[in-house]
Structure 1
Amino acid sequence: IFLTKATSIEKYNLAEQNFSYFFPDEPPTFIFSPASRRRGRPPKRASAGLEDNITPKQNTPGSKSKVSRERARFQKQKE
């Protein structure tokens, strides 16, 4: 959206002009493109029960999150 001052409209006689005066060629045709995948959080896991079957990656202790450290500790307590 373009807003023009009333003085500019009078000065350049914009009220008397139309779109084709400024753009004499044919209007462009835009190729349809499907909507891109939405950005945001990754999808949630299928269920919490499936997490037990997944073996955790071997990471260095400093890079594990608090939740993953607690999960590993509870796994060891179960065994």
Structure 2
Amino acid sequence: MDLQRKNPIHSPCPDMAGVVNFDEELTLKRLAGVLALRESLGLKKRKQTPGCKDFRYSRKFQTMARRAAILRGGAA
């Protein structure tokens, strides 16, 4: 399980727990157990959606519209 890291700051410290006596087989076995448990409980990973194409529904636009309404004396 060698993960590629773009920045060495994200690498684990050599004395960190789980790095000293790392067992890849045990890690994969536990990961399979977690995945089996998630499946048995009916938990599914959510997919990332790109969101709405309309800018008016974006958080940035909604915040600006709310601030403009407050400045005009409208409802908050």
- TM-score in same-fold range (> 0.5): no
Q: Greater relative contact order: 1 or 2 (C-alpha under 8 angstroms, separation 6 or more)?
A: 2
**Could you say which TM-score interval applies, normalised by the shorter chain?**
under 0.3
Higher helix share: 2
Bigger radius of gyration, 1 or 2?
1
